[in-house]
Structure 1
Amino acid sequence: MPEQDYLREKDAPLRQDIRILATALGRAIQRDGNSSVFEMVELLRRACKRLRDCTDQVIQANPEELQLLQLEIVELSHKIEETVERCELGTAIDVIRAFTVYFHLVNTAEQYQRIRRRRISEEQATRPQHGSLAALIEFFKQNHVAPEQLQELLQQMSIDLVFTAHPTEATRRSLITKSRRVAELLEQHDEQLSGREQQKWQRQLDATVDLLWRTDAIRHVRPQPIDEVKMGIYYLDEVLFEALPELYAEFEELLHEDYPGVQVPPLLRIGSWIGGDQDGNPFVGPTTMLDALNLQHSHLLRHYRFAIRSLAEEFSQSSVHTHVSSDLQQSLAYDMSCLPAYTQELGPQLKLEPYRAKLSFMWKRLLNTIVIDDAPHGPGWIAAPRPTEEELSGKHNNYRNAQELLADLHLIHESLLADGEYDLAQGVLIKIIRQVEVFGFHFAALDVRQHSERHAAALDDLLRASGWRAEGYRSLEEEEKIAVLEQLLRDPRLLIRSDLAVSAETRHIVETFRTIRLARESFGERAITCYIISMTHTLSDLLEVQFFCKEVGLTNLPIVPLFETVKDLNDCTEILATAFTHPDYKQYLDTCQRQQQVMLGYSDSSKDGGILTSSWELYQTQRRLAVLGKEYAVGITVFHGRGGAIGRGGGPIYEAILGQPPESVNGRIRITEQGEMLSFKYGLHEIALRNMELVVAGVAQASVSDEKILETQVHPRPTPEWEQIMSQLSQHAYRRYRQLIYEDPTFIKFFEQATPILELGWLNIGSRPARRSASKAIEDLRAIPWVFSWMQSRIVLPSWYGVGSALEDYILADPAHLTTLQQMYRQWPFLRAFLDNLQMTLAKADMQIAQYYTQLVEDAELRERIWTLIHDEYERTQKMVILILQERDLLDNAPVLQESIRRRNPYVDPLSYFQVSLLRRLRALGGPLTLDPEQEEQASAEERERARLTYAVLLTINGIAAGVRNTG
C-alpha cells in the first residue's frame, strides 16, 4: 500500500472524530441562536481553505494555470480581508470563539488518536514502539547489557520532571477539564454501543461541547500564585498520582521477561517551581512556598487515606486462615497501645482480621497527620471528624514523615510474601508503596529560584545595617567580594539579627531561607530540592547563597547556578572549576555528597544568540561539564531549562536526550516541563505515561556506557571536523541574528508593531510580569513573551532566524559541504534533532499570513526593509533544510505532523486575519483597556469600545495559541 494511502487509512478514525466534534460544535452554535455566526465561520473556513489550496498548487502550475491561480489568490485574499473588516464586533467575537473551541476539540481528538495508535501498536506491531520501554529493553539485549550492569545503571538513575508556572497554560482549567471529558467520550465511542447507548452518548457529547461553547476562554482576573499551585496540583491529583506508579509497574513487568532479578528503584520523580520561583515575580515569596507545600501535602495524604481505606476493605484475611509475621503482630500491638480509643472503636473483630486492623490504624494515623484546611474536600475524599488534641499529641498517633508510613507498608508487604500471598503483595499494595516512595509527604518537590542581583543587594544592605561594612558591597571587584564572603563564611557569629533596620527586599530574602529550613524540617528534605540562582555570572553569586544558608542553619541544600546567556555558557565550567577548588564551597559541596546540579537556560541563550548558537553552546557546555565532573570527582547533574516552543529549547524529548553529548547524562537529569505544555503532555493518563516512558527510555539509553558495557560504540560521536563545522556555522548565524535583533535600533519598533507583544500583558495567563524591569529593551524582555508574540504573528522568528544564511554560505563555499552536512544529519543525533526541530518550526511559520501582520507597521520604509530581511532569510533557511534532509517539502519525513499542520492552517488563518484587523482598530483608539462592571457603567462609548476590542484581541491570541499548539 502506498504510504499516503496507508496514512489516510491510519488516520481515518481521527478524521471521523474531528467531523463528529465539529458537527457537535455547529449544533451548539446554532442552538445558541447564532446562525449568522455559523454561516460566517463556514464562509471563512471555505475561503481560507481554498486560498491554501491555490497557494500549494502554484509551485507545480504551468504558466497559464499560474496566472489564473494568482488572480484567484488575490481575489480570495481581498474577500477574506473585506469580510473580516466588515464583520460587526459582536459577531466577530463569536466567530473567533467558534474557531477557538474547534481547536480545543481538534487538540483533544489528536491526543486521543495518539492513545488509540499506541494501543494498536502494542497489539499489532511486530517490533516495539519507538522510544518505548519495550524498545529500551530490546536495546539492552541487543547490546548485551548484563543483569548486574543494568541494575547498577538503574540504581544511579535520577530523573526529575519539574513543572513550571511560566508560561502558564493559556487555556483555562475549565476548558481543560471539559476537553478531558471529550476524550473520555471519544474512547467510549470506540466501543460497540447499542442504539440506546449511542443516543445517550450523543446527548452527553452535545452537552459537553455546548458547555465548551458557553465557557469564556479568557481569564478576566490575573491568576495569583496560589491559583497556579492549584493548577499544578490538578495534574498531580487527576493523572500523575496513578500514572507514575503504573509506569514503574510496566517497566518492571517488561524487564522481568528478560531480566527476572532486576528491580526498578524510584528513579523518576516530579518537581515544581510553582510557588517557589521568585525570580521576577513579586507575588511569590516565603508564604507562597509554604502554602504550596501545605496544599500539596493535604491533597496527597487524602489520596493515601483513600487508597489505604480501599485496601482495608479488600484485605479481609482471617487470622484463622492466614499467617502474619511476628514483626507485623508486634507493630499491631503497639498501635493498639497508642490508640486505645480507636482500638475500642474497631471492636472485637480487630483481632480476627490482622491485615485489616493494621491498615485501619494506618488510616487513622494519616488522618492525624493531615494539615487540616477549611477548603471543601473534593469528591471521593473520606469524610472524617477532626482528630482530638490527645490524638495529635501522641508520638505514634500520626506519621512524622513518609519513611514511617513506608515502613508500615513494607511490614504488610513482607508478611504477605512470607505467607505466599504474592499476587496480593504485588498488586495494589506495591502500587501504594511506589506512590509513597516517589511522592513522599510533599507530592512534587519544590525548587526555589531567585535572581543573583537580589542576593547581592540583600547582602549589601545587611553589611551596611550591621555596621560591618560601610562602603557598598555591590561596587566591589569580584576578588574583593570573595574576600568579604570568605570572612563571613568562616566567622562563627551570625550577621543577621532581628534588630537590623533593613529593607523589605532584604527581609524577603532572609525569610525565604528561613522558610526553606522550616519546610524541609516539616515535610522532609526532599520537599525542597534546591536553590537556583538565575543569571549566575561569578563565583561570588554561589558564595552569597552559601552565606544565607549558613546564617539560617541550612547545611545541605543544593545550590544550583543557572547559566543563561551565551557568554555565561562559555564561562560556566571556569566558574565551577573555581568553585570546586574554593575551600568554603568545597566544604559545602561535601555536605551535598559531592553532587552539583547545573542549570542551563535554553530560553535566554536562544534570545541572546539565536537558536543555532544557543543549541551548539549548550552542547559544548554539557560536554565540558562531563569532563569537569570527572576531573574534580563531582557528580554533575545537568538541569535543562527547556521551554515548550522550539525557540526556547522545546521539541521531542526522546530525541533531545539522545542528542546530548556522550557521557554527559550518566543517568542523572532534570528537565523543566513548561506550564503551556502540561495539558498537552499530562492532561490524559495514557499520554502522561507515554511522555514519561520517552524520558526514562532516553535517559537510560543515553547513559549506557560505551567503555564499560559495550564492545561496539552505540553513541555516535562527532568528528573534530564536524565540531569545527558547527562552530563555524554558529559564529555566522550569531552574527546574522545579532545584526538584526540587537544592532538595528529600529528593529524594536517593527517588533512591537508587527506582533501583539504590547497586548500580551493583558492576557491573564500568569502571575509573573512579562519584563524583568521597566526597560523596553529586548534584553529585558522575558523569553516567553518574546517567543509567544512571534508565534502569534506566524513568523516564529526566534526558532530559525540566522540559520539559513549560515548554511547557505557554508554550502556555497564548496559544493562538497552539502554532502558533509547530509552525512552529519544521518549519523549525528545532535544535528538530526536540531534540523528536525528546525523544519517543524519552519512548517508552523507562514510567510503569507506573516506579511499581513507587517501592515501594522506604520513606517513603510521600516516595514519593507525589515520584512525583506525576514522573508529572504526564511526562504533561504527552508531551502537549505530541504536540501540537507533530501526531501521535497518540509516534514516529508514526519507525515503525521505534516498533515496535522496542514489540517489546522485553514482554521488558524481566520483568527490571524481577525487579529490584525482588531489590533489596528484597538491601537487607533489608544490601545488595550479592561473595565470591571462598575467602571463599565461610568465609561464613555469609546472606552467601552476599547474594552470590547481588547477582549476580542485577547480571544484571538488564545485561539491562535490553541491552533498552533504553542505559546512560548
Structure 2
Amino acid sequence: MLRKPKIQRFNESVLSKYQIYNSLFLTLPFDDISNTGAFLPLFSEICAKGYQDNQDPTTIVDSFFSKFFNDKPEEERISLLFKFIQYIERQVVLFDAIEDAAFSIVNNMDGHGTLRNVKEEAQAIGKLEALQSHLKEFKIRPVLTAHPTQFYPGAVLGIITDLALAIEQNDLTSIKKLLAQLGKTPFFKKKKPTPFDEAVSLIWYLENVFYQSSSKIFNYIQNNIFGDNELSNDVVKLGFWPGGDRDGNPFVTPEITLNVADRLKTAVLRNYYRDIRKLKRRITFDKADVIIAELEMSLYQNIFLPSKKNTLQKDTFLSKLYEIKQVLIENHKSLFIEEIMDLINKVKLFGFHFASLDIRQDSRVHHNVLIGIVKDTIENNLGIFPDNYESLSEAEQIEVLTKVSGKIDPEIITDEMAKATLKSIYVMQEIQKYNGEEGCNRYIISNNQTIINVLEAFAMIKLTGWTKPTVDVVPLFETVDDLQHAKMVMEALYNNEEYKTHLASRGNVQPIMLGFSDGTKDGGYLMANWSIYKAKEELTLISRKYDIKVVFFDGRGGPPARGGGKTHQFYASLGPNIENKEVQLTVQGQTISSNFGTVDSCQYNLEQLLSSGIQEIFNQEKSELKEGDRATMQQLADVSYQAYTDFKAHPKFMPYLENMSTLKYYAKTNIGSRPSKRGKSDKLLFSDLRAIPFVGSWSQLKQNVPGFFGVGTAMAHFEDKGEFDKIKSLYENSLFFKTLIENSMMSLSKSFFQLTAYMQNDDEYGEFWNLIHDEYLLTKRLLLKLTGYNELMEDLESMKASIKVREEIVLPLLTIQQFALKKIQEFEKGKGVDSALIEVYEKMVTRSLFGNINASRNSA
C-alpha cells in the first residue's frame, strides 16, 4: 500500500484531531473560566481580521470589548484577558500532545536517517563491514540542560504524556478527564525552582524516555548490525548539566551537585530494579532464579541508600547478569537470553551514573577564585605559589600554573566563591568514587579566551590532591574573537608538557565546546555559524598535527538563532576537514520535550543524529567547500557581521529591547534557577544579557532578529555587484550553507511584523523598527530568489503547517501581550500613575510569555 504524503498524514492525524479536541476543550466548564471558551474563537477571529486591516493590538482589543463587553467595567475586561491567556496556553499543550501521539504516523520510523535505513543501504552496496567499523568508534552525546526555554511545570509535562497516550488510543473518556485536569492545573510557578528541582524534572526524561529509546538503539545495532560479535562501544552516552552548571548560577552549590549525582544513581537503579522484577517472572529456572532473586534484593536495598552506603557495585551487578546469561546458554537452551542481554546493554550504557554530570564555570570567576586561593595559600605559608604571583608575566604565570601541586583544605579559603569552587572539585572525586568515573569527569570553562583560562582550572583540579585527575578540561569558545583565537590557545596547550602528560592519560582525547547561542548574540547569524565552522576546521587540523583526537561539543539551543533548527542536517553537512567521531550537543528547554519527549520521537531523533555522522561510508562526496565558494561564504559572513555590529551599536538597540520588548519580564517568570542576566549593574548592558532572554525577547515581538539580521544585507551586497550567481553556487554546492539558509527561513516564517507595526509611527523607536522591518523584507526577498521558492519553507509542508497552526493559536496571546505593554507605557508616561494597575498589566505580560515560547517547540 502506498504511503500517504507527509502533509496528508499531518492533516489527518494532527490538524483534524486538534480541531475536534479543541472544540471539546472549549466547551468544558472550568472554575472561573465559564464562557471563555465561547468568546476566545471570536477574539481570535477579530485578531486575524484586525491585522489584515492594519489595525494595532490596542485597537483590536478595544474593538472586541466594544462589540461584546461594552457595558463591562475594566476589572471584568482584564479578568477575561487573563482567562484567554489560560485557555491559549492550554491549547498549546493540547496541540503538543496531539503531535506527540501522531509522531510515528507523521514521521517514517524506518525512513531516511533511521538505523534500519542505514543498515539496508550499507548491505545493498556491500558496506556492512564499513558500517560496523564506524560504529565501533562513533558516539552521540546529548547533554540535557536546564536552561529556561520551556515554561511547562512538571505536572503539565505529565499531562502532555498521558494526553498523548489517550489520543493515540482514541480514549475519549480519558481525554475529557485530562483536558479537565489541564484546565485546573496551574502553569505559573510562584517561586523559582532550585537547581535540584530542575534536575529532578529532567531526570524524569532519563527514566521514562532515554532509558528505553537509547537501549532500543543499542539493541538494534547489536542484534541487526553486529550479530554474535558483542559491541563494546556505548554509542549513546547521556550528559547532564542541572546541579553541575555553576556558570552564572549562585544557587548551584557543591552539596547540590552531590545530591543530583545521588538522585541520578537512584533513578537508574530504580529502572534496573523494575527490569529485574519483570525478568524474575520469566527466569524461573534452576540456578538462574537464585542469582536473579539476589540481584532483586540487592537493588531494592540499595535504591533508597545514599551513594556512600551502597554495597552493590556496577562490575558486580554486570558480572551477575553475565552469570545468568551463561546459565541460560548452558542449561536452558538460551531461553529469554534477549531479555537478559537487553539489561546487560542498559548497564553498559548507563552504568550506575545514568548520565555524566558536567561541571561548568566562567573563566572570569576562575581567575578571581585563583587569586583568592593564591592569597590564602601565601598567608598560610603553604609554599604553593610565589609571593609575587600576581605581578608575574603571562609566561611566568603559565610556568607556575603548569607545575603547581598540593592539597588545599577548602576551609582555609576565605573567599566563599573560591571555597565553593575547590569543594566542587572534591565533589567530582567523590562522585567518581561512588557512581563511577563517568559519573562526573568533565570540567567546562565558559568564556575561554586564553591558555591561562585553561591552566587556571587545571591548576585548581591538581590542588585538590588529584595528581592524575580522571577528568577532561573542556574550554568553551563562544564569541567571534574567541573562536578565531581558539587554534592558538589549543596549540599552546598541546605544547605544554604537563598538559600533554594529562592528555596522554586521557587517551589523547581533547573535548572542545563551541557556543552557538552566545556566538550568534555576539556576531550575528552567519558570522557565528561560519566562525564555528572555521574554528572546527582549524582545531581539527592542529589536533591531528599533535596526534590528538578532538571531540567537538556544541552548545546549541532550540531556535535557529541559538544553533538549533535542522540539527541532523547540520552534522551531515560538515566536511572532511572537521573531526566527527562523536556528535555532542546540548539539548534544552522545549527541544527536550519536542525532540525527545516520547520514546518514539527520542529514538527517531537519536537515530538521525547517529546517521548524520556515518554518511562517509556510503562513498558520498563530502561537502568540502571549494575555494570560490569559501570566499563567497567569508564575504557573506563579513558583510553580515558589519551589518549586525552596526545594528547593535545603534543608540536605540538597548533602549528598544528594554522598553519595547518583554526582556525585563523574563526574570519574573520563575522558570529557571539561574538569574536572567549576568552582572549586578542596574543599567542594562549588552554584555550582561543572556542569550536565552535575548533571543526570546525578539521571538515574543515576532521579529526573530538573531536568526536573520544581516543575511539580507550580505546577499544584497552580491546582488548589487551583479554577482548573485556566486551565492547560488554556494547554495547548490554546500549542504552547510543550505542548512543555514533553511534555518534562517524558519526564523523568518515565525516573524509577524503586523503585530508591532504600530511602532513604526513611534517618535522614539519608529526609525529603529523600520530598520529591522526593512532587513526582514530584504532577507525574505533574497532568500526566495536564492531558493526559487514562491513562499518560505515550501519544501517542508508538514513543518510549515505545524508552525502555521501554532502561530494561529498564539496570535491572540501576543495581541494581549502587546496591548498590556502599550498600557504600561501609557501609564508610565502619564501623570498620576496607578501603580496597582501597572502591576496587573505587568503580570499580564509575564503570563503571556509562557504560551508563545511553548508554542515554538518545533523550532529545533
TM-score by length of 1: 0.82
Corresponding position of 1:659: 573
Corresponding position of 2:647: 740
Corresponding position of 1:833: 739
SS in 2 for 1:181: helix
SS in 1 for 2:179: helix
Q: Does 1:137 align with 2:50?
A: no
CA apart distance, 1:80: 4.4
Tell me the alpha carbon deviations over residues 323-358 of structure 1, each in whole angstroms, 9 at most, x when there is no partner. xxxxxxxxxxxxxxxxxxxxxxxxxxxxxx311111
Pairs aligned (count):
840
Q: Does 1:762 align with 2:668?
A: yes
Distance 1:853 1:248, change over 3 A: farther
Structure 1 unaligned segments of length 5 or more: list them.
56-71, 123-127, 190-200, 318-352, 374-386, 705-709, 928-940
Distance 1:84 1:595 in 2: 64
CA apart distance, 1:677: 1.7
Corresponding position of 1:279: 247
Contact 2:194 2:673 in 1 (8 A): yes
Root-mean-square deviation (CA, aligned residues, Å) is 2.8
Contact 1:218 1:954 in 2 (8 A): no
Contact 2:442 2:471 in 1 (8 A): yes
CA apart distance, 1:666: 3.2
Distance 2:623 2:120 in 1: 19
Tell me the alpha carbon deviations over residues 559-598 of structure 1, each in whole angstroms, 9 at most, x when there is no partner. 0000011011001111101100111111111121111000
Q: Does 1:163 align with 2:163?
A: no
Q: Does 1:408 align with 2:390?
A: no
Distance 1:807 1:498, change over 3 A: closer
Contact 1:255 1:262 in 2 (8 A): no
Distance 1:808 1:422, change over 3 A: farther
Corresponding position of 2:264: 296
CA apart distance, 1:254: 4.2
Contact 1:852 1:916 in 2 (8 A): no
CA apart distance, 1:106: 1.2
Corresponding position of 1:329: none
Contact 1:793 1:853 in 2 (8 A): no
Distance 1:471 1:865 in 2: 57
Contact 2:623 2:734 in 1 (8 A): yes
Larger of the two Rg values belongs to structure? 1
Distance 1:7 1:154, change over 3 A: closer
Distance 1:77 1:509, change over 3 A: closer
Corresponding position of 1:424: 336
| Selected match of 2:291 from 358, 361, 364 | 358
Distance 1:805 1:188, change over 3 A: same
Distance 1:76 1:583, change over 3 A: closer
Tell me the alpha carbon deviations over residues 48-92 of structure 1, each in whole angstroms, 9 at most, x when there is no partner. 34457xx5xxxxxxxxxxxxxxxx555999444533697711111
SS in 2 for 1:88: helix
Task: Give the aligned residue type for 1:890.
Answer: L
Distance 1:636 1:487, change over 3 A: closer
Q: Does 1:958 align with 2:850?
A: yes
Distance 1:868 1:7 in 2: 36
CA apart distance, 1:295: 1.0
Corresponding position of 1:372: 305
Tell me the alpha carbon deviations over residues 236-280 of structure 1, each in whole angstroms, 9 at most, x when there is no partner. 122222222112223344436xx7768473211111001100000
Corresponding position of 1:111: 100
Corresponding position of 2:70: none
Contact 1:366 1:398 in 2 (8 A): no
Task: Give the aligned residue type for 1:283.
Answer: F
Q: Does 1:479 align with 2:395?
A: yes
Distance 2:100 2:542 in 1: 42
Distance 1:403 1:700 in 2: 31
CA apart distance, 1:10: 5.3
CA apart distance, 1:631: 0.4
Distance 1:861 1:955 in 2: 29
- Where does 1:184-583 land on structure 2 (aligned, <5 Å)? 184-189=165-170, 201-255=171-225, 263=231, 265-317=233-285, 353-372=286-305, 398-399=311-312, 401-419=313-331, 421-426=333-338, 428-467=339-378, 477-489=393-405, 493-494=406-407, 496-497=408-409, 500-554=412-466, 555-583=469-497
- Where does 1:730-809 land on structure 2 (aligned, <5 Å)? 730-741=637-648, 743-775=649-681, 776-809=684-717
- Where does 1:597-608 land on structure 2 (aligned, <5 Å)? 597-608=511-522
Task: Give the aligned residue type for 2:182.
Answer: L
Distance 2:252 2:19 in 1: 44
Task: Give the aligned residue type for 2:90.
Answer: V
Larger displacement relative to structure 2 (679-688 or 580-589): 679-688
Distance 2:63 2:720 in 1: 44
Task: Give the aligned residue type for 2:773.
Answer: H
Tell me the alpha carbon deviations over residues 634-675 of structure 1, each in whole angstroms, 9 at most, x when there is no partner. 011000111111111001221011122325243222111113
Distance 1:222 1:631 in 2: 48
Task: Give the aligned residue type for 2:297.
Answer: K
SS in 2 for 1:749: helix
Corresponding position of 2:69: none
SS in 2 for 1:830: helix
Distance 1:641 1:406 in 2: 34
| Selected match of 2:78 from 63, 66, 89 | 89
Corresponding position of 1:26: 26
Corresponding position of 2:777: 875
Contact 2:632 2:726 in 1 (8 A): no
Distance 1:185 1:543, change over 3 A: same
Q: Does 1:851 align with 2:736?
A: no
Task: Give the aligned residue type for 1:109.
Answer: I
Contact 1:456 1:474 in 2 (8 A): no
Task: Give the aligned residue type for 1:447.
Answer: D
CA apart distance, 1:138: 3.6
Distance 2:386 2:219 in 1: 61
CA apart distance, 1:485: 1.5
SS in 1 for 2:558: coil
Distance 1:6 1:533 in 2: 43
Distance 2:724 2:591 in 1: 36
Distance 2:489 2:56 in 1: 61
Distance 1:415 1:141 in 2: 34
Distance 2:388 2:180 in 1: 63
What fraction of aligned residue pairs are identical, expressed as a percent?
24
Tell me the alpha carbon deviations over residues 82-111 of structure 1, each in whole angstroms, 9 at most, x when there is no partner. 336977111110011111111111122123
Distance 1:222 1:33, change over 3 A: closer
Distance 1:967 1:839, change over 3 A: closer
Corresponding position of 2:71: none
Contact 1:84 1:913 in 2 (8 A): no
Corresponding position of 2:730: 824
Contact 1:793 1:849 in 2 (8 A): yes
Distance 1:313 1:902 in 2: 49
Contact 1:597 1:639 in 2 (8 A): yes
Distance 1:485 1:73, change over 3 A: closer
CA apart distance, 1:498: 5.7
Distance 1:186 1:104 in 2: 13
Tell me the alpha carbon deviations over residues 860-880 of structure 1, each in whole angstroms, 9 at most, x when there is no partner. 343121111101100000011
- Where does 1:591-602 land on structure 2 (aligned, <5 Å)? 591-602=505-516
Task: Give the aligned residue type for 2:394.
Answer: E
Corresponding position of 1:628: 542
Distance 1:498 1:7 in 2: 60
Contact 1:81 1:913 in 2 (8 A): no
Contact 2:144 2:240 in 1 (8 A): yes
CA apart distance, 1:368: 3.8
